[in-house]
Structure formats: C-alpha cells, structure tokens
Structure 1
Amino acid sequence: MEQRISLITLGVPDMEQAAAFYEALGWQRAESPDGVIAFDLISQTLGLYPLASLAEDMGLSVEELGTGAMTLSHNTRSAEEVTTLMAKAEAAGATLLRPAGEVFWGGTIGYFRAPDSHIWEIAHNPFSTLSDGGAFRWNGYGTETEG
C-alpha cells in the first residue's frame, strides 16, 4: 500500500450546510456526481456525503458511526488492487466491513476497520486516474505526469 490518503469522506447530516461552511473558508467545489460534494485539496480531496448513505455503504447503523463519522480512502490504479489491498489489510488484523466489489457509479470499493478502529475505504475510480507519482485529484490526472 502506497503511503497516502486520497479522499477524506465526512458523513454529514446536512450536505448543503456543510458545503456552505467550506465555501465560506474560500474552498471551491469540484464537479462531482449527485450524492457527493467534493473539494479538491493539495494532493487529496475532501468529500461530503450524507451520513445515512455513508453508514449504509459500510453496512453499519448511523449510531455505530458515532460523532465525526468519516472514512480514510486510499485510491488504487486498478480494480484488482482493491481486492489485493483488502486481503492484505485483513491479514494484518483489519476487520472487513464490505468486501471489494463494484458500485453503482462504475468503480470498485471495499471497507475495513483497522485495529485502531479507524475505517478505511480502498477504492478504484476509473474516472479519477492517479498521477504517475500516485497523487489523487477528484477528476483525475489523465495523461499529465504531475504529482
């Protein structure tokens, strides 16, 4: 697993209210599909996602997520790498919450709970290609070599 966090997803009860806060800080929204509000950061993206939907994605109740629910996401170069990293995490002591699999928007994801209880998403997003250096940007790097 490369040493990086690609996408920080915050489960929020009111998407527009949360987005207004970040916009008030001077952040600009990135173009994104319905259901996600994204803000590109330097080498990462912050994503806002409905709290109930985030819980459902993980197979947990909203109550189990608790205050400050979020996932730390690591994006991969291929869908196959999601499966490989999920197995590696489980072998290292993680608890699988959702095995690697395809999702409605065309990518592949899996979730695990690390031994320290933080929840990670391993994802391949074919629409957000990584730079040659492994940097993530919400709408991808394409053929650029920056990052």
Structure 2
Amino acid sequence: MDQRISFITLAVADLETSRAFYVDGLGWRPELHEPGEVLMLAAGERLVFSLWQREQFEAEVGAIAAGPGVAPFTLSHNVATEAEVDAVLAEARAAGADPVEAAQRREWGGWTGYFADPDGHRWEIATNPGPIGQRVLP
C-alpha cells in the first residue's frame, strides 16, 4: 500500500450548515456538491476533504459512536508565520467557528491555536519551525 491519504471524510449533522461555514465563511471552493448528501473540496494536490451528511455516512460506514468529549483527531492547517496563524483563526471566527483555544507558543517552538467547525471537529492552525513543518507548506 502506498503511504498517502487520498480523502478525509467527516460526517456532519447538517451539510448545508457545513457548506456555509467552509465555502461562504472560509472561502473554500467546492469540487462536488450534492445537497443533503455530500460536499467535496480540494484540500491539496492529491487530497479531497469530504463532508458527508451523517445519515448517508452511517448507511455506508456504520453507526457513529456518540458521547461526551472531543473526537480523537485534529485537522491541521499549517502556515508560514505567526501572523498568518492569527489571521486564519480570526477568519474562522468571523465565519462562525467556535474559538477553542487562542494561539500560543508551544513547548516544541510552534505557534498554534484551535477552532471548531459547526460539528465540533477541531482544526489546529499552526506555524511549525521544524523541518517537517516546513515540508507541508505550499
């Protein structure tokens, strides 16, 4: 198996609310939008970010575990500077994101903060001065 990820798919409670957040609020461009079913957005050269209406997701993938707390993963958007981190966090908040944690200096030298999308999925906005952090920048 090749070491790569082709799609990241998130189940969402209301696809149109998520579309409004990502497309209208954050300015992402849809590649495919089937109202009430799925929204797909290019997220990299060979990566698609897919938002799937919860009921359709469960019909194919299986029942979604429910309970208190945060889903055990984050999505990260890396940028080159601390000012860009702050600007993206501000843009997300203006789009209606739930501010989870303001940007701050991390023990490992980066500057990161978090927001939650309409379904509570956590996004980390970061600048990472290390070699792997630089590798992911456009």
Higher strand share: 2
Q: Given the two structures, how large is their TM-score scaled by the length of structure 1? A: 0.44
The two structures have a TM-score, normalised by structure 2, of 0.47
